[in-house]
């Protein structure tokens, strides 16, 4: 994920009024509940191989929010691995049913990356503004074709 993203100028520059959301849902087994309440800073689609593995599909659908906007109740597990950026990327999930909860980069620990499918039925607000890691997108995996596309990270983010 983009690095140095811990300040307000990150992404979505054309949207001065950041989306406010207030949604709560539970994982498949019900052991973990997560609430996203506050500003959504950015919304994107990522086709990197790690997201393909993590979701079992062609891409992840992610909302970026400040860590303080995210509340998790219940016991979670996590797995950390190096990302292409050199940062360590940690995915949190339910240890019982495996439902993805949120991801976090060591470069921007104050941001949570929320897989919006967690809030199925309550995520009509999701409106991604970019597709990243298009270089590993599969032709069969169709994503709204009006989205700006970046081969890896957004160029502006990758240089910071
Ligand atoms: Zn669960
Ligand atoms: Zn990804």
Is the pLDDT higher at 8 or at 132?
132
For residue 31, report the distance from its CA to the centre of ligand 1, in Å: 5
For residue 103, report the distance from its CA to the centre of ligand 1, in Å: 16
For residue 159, report the distance from its CA to the centre of ligand 1, in Å: 37
- pLDDT confidence band for 1 (50 / 70 / 90): very low
pLDDT tens, residue by residue, 10-48: 444 445 567 899 999 999 999 999 999 999 999 999 999
Please indicate, yes or no, if residue 13 is contained in any of the structural domains. Answer: no
Please indicate, yes or no, if residue 2 is contained in any of the structural domains. Answer: no
Please indicate, yes or no, if residue 7 is contained in any of the structural domains. Answer: no
**Which one of the ligands is nearest to 94 CA?**
1
Return the DSSP state at 135: G
**Domain of 63, in residue numbers:** 19-154
Rounded CA separation 124/40 (Å)? 13
Residue 88's CATH number: 3.90.1590.10
* Percent share of the chain, pLDDT over 70: 86
For residue 160, report the distance from its CA to the centre of ligand 1, in Å: 36
**Which one of the ligands is nearest to 60 CA?**
2
For residue 2, report the distance from its CA to the centre of ligand 1, in Å: 28
Domain count, the chain: 1
As a 3-state breakdown, the chain gives helix, strand, coil percent values, each rounded to 5, of: 15, 35, 50
Is the Cβ–Cβ distance between 112 and 70 less than 8 Å? Answer: yes
Using a cut of 0.75, tell me whether the model's pTM lies above it: yes
Rounded CA separation 74/94 (Å)? 9
Is the pLDDT higher at 19 or at 144?
19
pLDDT tens, residue by residue, 39-92: 999 999 999 999 999 899 999 999 999 999 999 999 999 999 998 788 999 999
Please name which of 123, 100, 99, 103 lies closest in space to residue 111, comparing C-alpha atoms. 103
**Which one of the ligands is nearest to 2 CA?**
2
Rounded CA separation 43/145 (Å)? 15
Structure token digits, residue 17: 């009024």
For residue 100, report the distance from its CA to the centre of ligand 1, in Å: 9
């Amino acid at each position: 994920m983009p690095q140095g993203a811990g300040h307000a100028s990150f992404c979505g520059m054309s949207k001065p009024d950041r989306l406010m959301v207030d949604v709560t849902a539970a994982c498949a087994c019900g052991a973990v509940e997560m609430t996203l309440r506050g500003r959504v800073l950015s919304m994107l689609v990522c086709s990197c191989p790690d997201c393909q593995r993590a979701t079992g599909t062609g891409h992840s659908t992610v909302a970026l929010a400040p860590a303080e906007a995210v509340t998790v109740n219940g016991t979670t597990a996590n797995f950390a691995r190096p990302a292409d950026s050199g940062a360590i990327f940690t995915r949190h999930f339910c240890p019982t049913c495996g439902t993805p909860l949120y991801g976090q980069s060591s470069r921007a620990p104050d941001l949570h990356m929320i897989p919006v499918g967690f809030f199925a039925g309550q995520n009509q607000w999701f409106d991604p503004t970019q597709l990243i890691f298009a270089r590993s997108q599969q032709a069969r995996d169709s994503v709204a074709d009006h989205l700006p596309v970046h081969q890896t990270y957004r160029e502006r983010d990758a240089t910071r």
